Structure 1
Amino acid sequence: MFNRSLLALSLGLFFSSSLSAHAQDGFWSGDWYLKVGATGFIGPKYDGASARLFQAAPLISFGRAGSAVRFSSRNDNPAFAFVDQGAFRAGVVGKLIFQRDEDTSKDLKGLDPVRFGGELGGFAEVYPTDWLRIRAELRQGIRSHNGLVADVAADGFVDVSDNVRLSAGPRLSAATSDYFDAYYGVSGSESAKSGYSQYKPSGGLGSLGAGAAITWKATEKLETSAFAEYKRLMGPAADSSIVREGGSRNQFLVGLSATYRFDFTLD
Structure 2
Amino acid sequence: MRIPIAFLLTGAFLLPASSACAEDGRYFWSGDWYLKIGATGFLGPKYEGAPKRMLQAAPLVSLGKAGSTVRFSSRNDNMSYAFFDQGSFRAGVTGKLIFRRDEDTSSDLEGLEPVKFGGELGGFAEVYPTDWMRVRAEVRHGVRSHHGVAADVAADAFADVSSNVRISGGPRLTAATRDYFDAYYGVNATESAASGLSTYEPYGGLHSVGLGAAITWAATDRLETIAYAEYRRLMGAAADSSLVRERGSRNQLLVGLGATYRFDFTLP
Q: CA deviation at 1:70?
A: 0.8
Verify the 8 A CA contact 2:17 2:84 in the aligned structure 1: no
Q: CA deviation at 1:38?
A: 1.7
Match of 1:55 in 2: 56
Question: How far is 1:22 from its partner?
Answer: 1.6
SS at match of 2:254: strand
Q: Does 1:22 align with 2:20?
A: yes
Measured after TM superposition, the shift of residue 28 of structure 1 is 2.4
Q: TM-score, normalised by structure 1?
A: 0.90
**Greater helix proportion:** 1
The aligned residue for residue 85 of structure 1 is: 86
The code of the aligned residue for 2:235 comes to M
Deviation, structure 1 residue 63: 1.7
Query: Are 1:63 and 1:81, in contact at CA under 8 Å, matched by a contact in 2?
Result: no
- 2:163 is equivalent to residue 165 of structure 1: no
* 1:118 aligned onto 2:122: no
Q: Deviations over 1:46-72 (max 9, x none)?
A: 010101111122222222101111111
Deviation at 1:23, TM superposition (A): 3.5
User: Which blocks of at least 5 consecutive residues in structure 1 are unaligned?
Assistant: 1-17
Q: In the alignment, which residue of structure 2 is the partner of 1:262?
A: 263
1:24, distance to aligned residue in structure 2 (A): 5.8
Structure-2-length-normalised TM-score: 0.90
Q: Would you identify which runs of 4 or more consecutive aligned residues in structure 1 move more than 2 Å?
A: 18-21, 23-28
* Kept in 1: contact 2:79–2:95 (CA 8 A): yes
SS of residue in 2 equivalent to 1:93: strand
Identity of aligned residues (%): 73
Secondary structure (helix, strand or coil) at the match of 1:145 reads coil
How far the C-alpha of 1:20 sits from its partner, in A, is: 11
The residue that corresponds to 1:156 in the other structure is: 157
* Structure 2 match to 1:220: 221
Q: Secondary structure at the match of 1:183?
A: helix
* Distance in 2 between residues matched to 1:137 and 1:115, nearest whole Å: 22
- The number of equivalent residue pairs is 250
- Whether the 8 Å CA contact 1:41–1:256 is kept in 2: the answer is yes
Alignment partner of 1:244: what SS? helix
Question: How much has 1:21 moved relative to structure 2?
Answer: 8.1
User: Is the Cα–Cα contact under 8 Å of residues 120 and 140 in structure 1 kept in the other structure?
Assistant: yes
The CA RMSD over aligned residues, in Å, is 1.5
Which amino acid is 1:22 matched to?
A: A
Mapped contact 1:61–1:79 kept (Cα < 8 A) = no
